[in-house]
Each structure stands twice: as structure tokens, then as C-alpha cells.
Amino acid sequence: MEYIKKAQLIDEGSSDGVEHTVKAIIENVKANGDKAVQEYERKFGNSDRPVRVSEEEIENCMQTLPEETKVLIDRVVDRVSKFAEAQLSCLLPFEKDFGEGIRMGHKIIPIEKVGAYVPGGRFPLLSSGPMVVAPAKVAGAKQIVACSPANYKGGIHPAVLYGLVRSGATDIFAIGGAQAIAAMAYGTESIPEVDMIAGPGNMFVAEAKRQVFGKVGIDLIAGPSEVMVFADESATPRKIAVDLLAQAEHDPYARAILVTTSRSIAEGVIEEAAAILETFTDSSPAHESWKTRGEVIFAESLQEGLAICNDYAIEHLHLHTENSHEFTDKLYNYGSLFIGEDSSVVFSDKVSGTNHTLPTQRAGRYTGGLWAGSYVKVATHQEITGEGVQFLASHAEAQSEIEGLEGHKLSATIRIE
């Protein structure tokens, strides 16, 4: 393994400072509700508007949105919903006998109240709302509270708002940041308390989700976008460079990495990336991301390359190799896998149907991304009768005796005939 281009070490700021700031925001919102939320909106978002998005505001925004944009968003909602429905169909309730008089099973129960955080970011990402809200709707959530920053002409961008409405959000609030997470977790006079919060965001949003976890459930804590391309000598350098820079433009801290078994491909990608960046606007985050976070790694063999991919456990793993299907069973740490050079990550970002809310920072070692199953509970049940009572009570009595648990033993003994 050899780094032909290695990422620079970057000081992303003090995590202690972010933790302290977020903790203060959460405590203030818990204590002062709407007043605290509006205080932070004025301070961080330069917004002094009502926090709830009214039906009248929604209707006015809908009228400003071009029909062709609505068609694009409708397609996103439809495809994300259908994929979520297919995923949910794999989760089935069951009930069966496990011995005479011992019947057990589980039910699939939707989470009742879901909070959806949809970042404003540098661009109005049309798919972000549907990716978080549509699977919750498919799963059967009764209430979906959506929060997104009021960073477009004093409100939520009309395209983002339309996506939230079409996906099934029941309550929409024009607030962002850690204050939005705190408000959904603890509730305010205006903002309902939820049972679970999902959706990506900046470091303050991520830290807020970490701190409220336990009070509410969360999907995962996602950082800046990541992509790794694994390529052999059959790959096309320009396609690789484009795919890397597409994710690099999300954020200056995004990570775009190439792992290849070909030195000529490595050199070609570096050259192509430099040429492509010259065509990007000066303000594009891709410049900083590729300069400071971009990596090109030479692997001595396909086996070493696969091992590198599994070790990085990257968010998006894209195979630009001949016979890519041969490697899928050898890759197991990633957020989402893209098989073949034309299976662009951009398709998933926008409209293919798989969810783009995915694990970053090596979390792919232990979790997948947001999906319909994130919004349901698998809850067990049992009914013990007749001979089953005698069998289990005798066991529980003997085990409780060894453990020294008098109450447990008595609860079993009283049922032995």
C-alpha cells in the first residue's frame, strides 16, 4: 500500500467547544421552549419569523415552484417510497410454538412520532426531505415533525418545502441547528415532542443528536460526505475523477479517495481532477476538499485493495473494476455499494431510490444507513399455558435459587402445581 496523494491533517475545531455550546442550547430550550428557539434563530439564522410553517405559506410557496421541478421531486418521492416499501416487506411479524404451551413471536410496530431534520446547506438539495420523511411515512408513523433552516428569503426553500409536504410531513418548522434537535427531543409550546429523530446535519446538529440520544432514538450520527472508488487497470480516469469530485463538492471536509491497483490510473485521475477543478467555480467546496482531504492509494494487489476498502468502511463505495460483481461478497464494511463504473453515486444521491442518509467515519463497520426499518420496533410477545407453565416454572425456580433471587423464585414457585 502506497499513498500517491495523502490527505492533510486538518483542525476541524475543538470538539469540546461544540459539545459545550450544544449542551447549553439544549438546556436553554428545555427550560424556555419557544423563547429559546427564537433566540437562537435570531442569533444563528438571522431569522425572526414564526417557527411554524403555516398552510398559507406552504400554498404560496407551491405556487412559486415551476411544474418541471415538482415533477422531479414527485419522482424522487415515488422511487424512495417504493424502495422503502420493498424493504419493509422483508420485515414480517410471526408467532409460533416453542414447546407445548409455549407460544412466542414478535410484532412490527411503527414509531408513532418521528422528527425529521433536513439541512439547508449551501444548496437546496431536493432529495434530502424525501429521503428522511418518505420512509417514515411508509413505515406507518402517525406524526412526522420536519425542521429545516429558514435560510431562503426568510423561509424554507420552496423545492425543499414541496418535498416535505409530498413525502408526508405532518408539521413543518422553519428552524435549524442544535435548537431544532433540542425542540423536537423535548418539545416546546409550538413544536411537538417526538420519539425519534432522523436526518443529517452539520457538526452542531450531529452533536445535538448525540446528546439527546436516550431521551429519543436517533438514526445515526453522520459526518461530511465520503466516497471511495476502487479501480483496476480497466477503469476510466475521467469517470473516476468526476465521481470523486461530485462528492467533494458537498463540503470542504468531504473525503474523496481512490484505491487502485494501477499506477497509470492513479496518475491519470490526479491529472483529470486538476483539469476538472479548473472548470468549477472558485467558491466550490470541491477545491478545498480535494486539496486537503483527497487521497489516491496504490494497492499491490486486488486482495490488498479489498482489504483497504473494508478497513476504511466508507460511506459510498464505488467499484470501477472489470467484473465488479466478483468482489461484492468480499466487501462488507460500507454505507452503500455501487457496482460498476456507471452506477454513479449521484444516482443514489438524487433519485434511484436507495437512501442517501448513510454511515460515515467508519460507522459502516457496525450499521447501515437510514431505511424503513429504522422507523419501526420489533417487539416480542409470549403466552405461556398448561405444560409450558410447569416446564418454565421449574427451570426458573431452580435458576433463581442458584442466583439468590427470592422474588423471582417465588414468582415461579407459585405457578408450580
Report domain extents, the chain. 15-93+110-218, 224-365, 385-413
Q: For 30-54, how does the pLDDT look when each residue is reduced to its tens digit (9 = 90+)?
A: 999 999 999 999 999 888 999 999 9
Tell me the CATH architecture of domain 15-93+110-218. 3-Layer(aba) Sandwich (3.40)
**125 pLDDT above the threshold of 90:** no
pLDDT at 10: 58
pLDDT category, 417, cuts 50, 70, 90? Answer: confident
Q: How many Å apart are CA 154 and CA 57, to the nearest integer?
A: 11
pLDDT at 345: 97
Bigger pLDDT: 120 vs 397: 397
Q: How many Å apart are CA 128 and CA 117, to the nearest integer?
A: 9
Q: Does the 224-365 domain belong in CATH 3.40.50.1980?
A: yes
Q: For 60-114, how does the pLDDT look when each residue is reduced to its tens digit (9 = 90+)?
A: 988 999 999 999 999 999 999 999 999 999 999 999 999 999 999 999 999 999 9
Label residue 316 left, alpha or beta by phi (over 0 means left) and psi (-120 to 50 means alpha).
beta
Mean per-residue pLDDT, 281-295: 96
Q: Which amino acid is at 187?
A: G
| Residues identified as active-site | 315-316
Percent of the chain with pLDDT over 90: 91
Q: What is the sign, positive or negative, of the torsion defined by CA atoms of 159, 160, 161, 166? A: positive
| Residue carrying the nine cell digits 425542540 | 183
pLDDT at 266: 98
Q: Which residues, at least 6 apart from 349, have a Cβ–Cβ distance to it below 8 Å?
A: 127, 356
Q: How many Å apart are CA 119 and CA 124, to the nearest integer?
A: 9
pLDDT at 223: 87
**308 pLDDT above the threshold of 70:** yes
Check for a shared fold between 15-93+110-218 and 224-365: yes
CA–CA distances in Å: residue 179 to residues 153, 251, 293, 352: 20, 22, 30, 32
Q: For 330-353, how does the pLDDT look when each residue is reduced to its tens digit (9 = 90+)?
A: 999 999 999 999 999 999 999 999
Q: How many Å apart are CA 132 and CA 410, to the nearest integer?
A: 48
How many whole angstroms from its chain centre is CA 21? 23
| Residue carrying the nine cell digits 431534520 | 117
Bigger pLDDT: 124 vs 229: 229
Mean per-residue pLDDT, 292-308: 97
Q: How far apart are the first and last CA of the chain?
A: 69
Q: For 150-173, how does the pLDDT look when each residue is reduced to its tens digit (9 = 90+)?
A: 988 889 999 999 999 999 999 999
